[in-house]
């Protein structure tokens, strides 16, 4: 299968940006310089791909989401009459009518602009990735695998008590594990990254390497100390074992290995959940109830993207106030509903509906099932945490959305969108160098 130089170069450029997000985009703090650099890199890489592959069409759904989010962001920072706002928002959240003439929907225009840049960068990444078909995304998945391996190497260095101060200085924050500031986010990244790793042909000698990778990832998930992480790891490991063992002629040899790894992991899982819980300052339920109280007061207009921690303290009960600072709702859906109001919740609902509808229409594809379950893992964790607030996981989310919405390549011809004729392959001819994710490939599920 012939590939043009523009396609190969575009894969390298966008794959490098994806890899950079996984290695350097694990921070959760606001205003990180490294995040600004990564956003610029993603926007520049996406623009390069869009121009180089101008003869291909990007996802219409992606364009619709980009337009809706950009429009809502512009509305939030647009000057509006204070008198008009007085009928829609509580007095403490608008300037005095006698002291101003205009204000904005956002409680902080600077934060809203910063948050918009992050969201638009990830949507642009999705649009650029949607220019590739599922076979080409199989190549780009190798950059995701590289990101997983780098994070495992960084974790090993941390567990071995190596001096990682140089890495913290580079990032601008102190990572807990790998490149991630939050161990829960690190665990989800490894679990979802493992699924991406298995999209690269799991056959022949690769089965053994994939089994070793699964074992290594599970050990690091147990060592990470995240209960949510080990539960997600259990689910992903079952899927990974099915992917690896499916259709294998050496299933008799693989099955005992899989059982041994699963038994060891279950024992570690039991130890983890029988440990005495540490000093937990607040339960996730407290975050949800407090955020819901804020949503009830601000649901028509929202408070502006990036303003959660400005509003949240006003709704905390005295017994909930601790020295630890609540910077996110630990529920991405509720936080977006507070910041974006009813329009933001509508956009979120439309995105989730589009993902479900797309999966239903292409559920017969192995790649679609792989992508859909990966998306579900991230969304499930978003119910109790904020993984999509980190570029490392948000970039993976964009990759799997692109894989779900990708066009299926004709196995007898090269990419139809290349603008050049391809010589048909002989029937039943194989291309061992192509890490395809074709329907006939027993890659996943």
Question: Does position 92 have pLDDT exceeding 70, yes or no?
Answer: no
Q: Considering the domain boundaries, does residue 445 fall inside one?
A: no
Under DSSP, the state recorded for 108 is -
Domain total of the chain = 1
Q: Considering the domain boundaries, does residue 443 fall inside one?
A: no
Q: Cβ(32)–Cβ(172) under 8 Å?
A: yes
Q: Report the percentage of the chain scoring pLDDT > 90.
A: 27
Q: CA neighbours within 13 Å on the CB side: how many for 145?
A: 17
Q: Considering the domain boundaries, does residue 361 fall inside one?
A: yes
pLDDT at 435: 44
Q: Considering the domain boundaries, does residue 441 fall inside one?
A: no
Q: Cβ(32)–Cβ(67) under 8 Å?
A: no
Q: Is 177 helix (H, G, I), strand (E, B) or coil?
A: strand
With b for 16 or more beta-carbon neighbours within 10 A and e for fewer, the 65-81 pattern comes to bbebbeebbeebbeebe
The domain in which residue 235 lies consists of 5-418
CA distances from 205 to 132, 201, 247, 429 (A): 28, 10, 14, 21
For the residues 63-82, what does the mean pLDDT come to? 90
Q: Considering the domain boundaries, does residue 79 fall inside one?
A: yes
Distance CA 368, CA 374 (A): 10
Residue-wise pLDDT tens digits, 286-309 = 788 888 988 988 888 888 898 888
pLDDT at 169: 87
Radius of gyration of the chain (CA): 23
Distance CA 69, CA 67 (A): 6
Q: In this structure, what token pair is assigned to residue 68?
A: 């809706």
For the residues 241-264, what does the mean pLDDT come to? 61
Question: Does position 365 have pLDDT exceeding 90, yes or no?
Answer: no
Which of 303, 347, 261, 255 has the alpha carbon at shortest distance from 94? 303
CA distances from 442 to 115, 211, 246, 365 (A): 40, 16, 7, 10
pLDDT at 429: 46
With b for 16 or more beta-carbon neighbours within 10 A and e for fewer, the 38-64 pattern comes to bbebbbebbebbbebbeebebbebbee
Which of 232, 325, 235 has the alpha carbon at shortest distance from 282? 325
- For 102, the enclosing helix (H) or strand (E) is strand 102-103
- CB atoms under 10 Å from CB of 431, counted, come to 11
pLDDT at 260: 66
Give me the chain's average pLDDT, please: 78
Question: Does position 94 have pLDDT exceeding 70, yes or no?
Answer: no
Q: Considering the domain boundaries, does residue 275 fall inside one?
A: yes
Distance CA 286, CA 321 (A): 11
Q: Considering the domain boundaries, does residue 437 fall inside one?
A: no
pLDDT at 207: 58
Least confidently predicted of 15-24, 71-80, 166-175, 311-320: 311-320
Distance CA 222, CA 417 (A): 45
Q: Considering the domain boundaries, does residue 429 fall inside one?
A: no
SS3 content of the chain, % helix, strand, coil (to 5): 65, 0, 35
- Beta strands 102-103 and 80-81, pairing class: antiparallel
Residue-wise pLDDT tens digits, 248-258 = 555 555 566 66
């Amino acid at each position: 299968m012939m590939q043009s130089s523009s396609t190969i170069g575009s894969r390298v450029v966008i794959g490098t940006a994806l890899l950079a997000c996984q290695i350097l985009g694990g921070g959760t703090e606001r205003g990180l310089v490294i995040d600004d650099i990564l956003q610029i890199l993603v926007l520049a890489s996406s623009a390069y791909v869009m121009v180089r592959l101008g003869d291909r069409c990007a996802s219409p759904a992606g364009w619709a989401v980009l337009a809706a989010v950009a429009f809502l962001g512009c509305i939030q920072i647009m000057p509006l009459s204070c008198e008009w706002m007085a009928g829609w928002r509580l007095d403490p959240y608008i300037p005095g009518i006698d002291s101003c003439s205009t204000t904005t929907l956002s409680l902080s225009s600077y934060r809203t602009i910063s948050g918009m840049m992050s969201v638009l960068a990830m949507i642009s990444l999705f649009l650029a990735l949607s220019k590739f078909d599922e076979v080409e995304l199989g190549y780009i998945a190798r950059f995701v695998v590289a990101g997983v391996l780098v994070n495992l190497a960084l974790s090993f260095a941390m567990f071995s008590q190596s001096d990682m101060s140089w890495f913290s200085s580079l990032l601008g924050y102190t990572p807990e594990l790998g490149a991630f500031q939050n161990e829960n986010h690190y665990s989800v990244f490894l679990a979802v990254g493992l699924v991406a790793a298995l999209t690269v042909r799991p056959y022949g000698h690769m089965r053994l390497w994939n089994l070793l990778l699964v074992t290594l990832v599970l050990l690091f998930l147990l060592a990470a100390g995240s209960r949510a992480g080990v539960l997600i790891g259990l689910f992903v490991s079952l899927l990974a074992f099915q992917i690896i063992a499916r259709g294998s002629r050496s299933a008799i040899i693989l099955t005992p290995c899989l059982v041994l790894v699963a038994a060891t992991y279950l024992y570690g899982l039991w130890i983890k959940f029988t440990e005495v819980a540490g000093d937990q300052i607040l339960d996730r339920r407290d975050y949800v109830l407090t955020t819901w109280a804020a949503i009830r007061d601000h649901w028509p207009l929202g408070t502006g993207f990036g303003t959660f921690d400005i509003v949240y303290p006003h709704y905390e009960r005295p017994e909930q106030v601790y020295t630890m600072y609540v910077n996110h709702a630990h529920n991405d859906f509720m936080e977006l509903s507070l910041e974006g109001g009813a329009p933001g919740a509508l956009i979120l609902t439309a995105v989730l509906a589009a993902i479900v509808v797309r999966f239903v229409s292409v559920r017969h594809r192995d790649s679609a099932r792989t992508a859909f379950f990966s998306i579900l893992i991230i969304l499930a964790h978003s119910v109790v945490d904020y993984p999509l607030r980190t570029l490392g996981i948000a970039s993976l989310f964009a990759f799997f959305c692109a894989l779900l919405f990708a066009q299926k390549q004709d196995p007898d011809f090269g990419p139809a969108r290349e603008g050049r004729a391809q010589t048909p392959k002989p029937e039943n001819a194989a291309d061992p160098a192509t890490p395809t994710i074709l329907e006939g490939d027993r890659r996943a599920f």
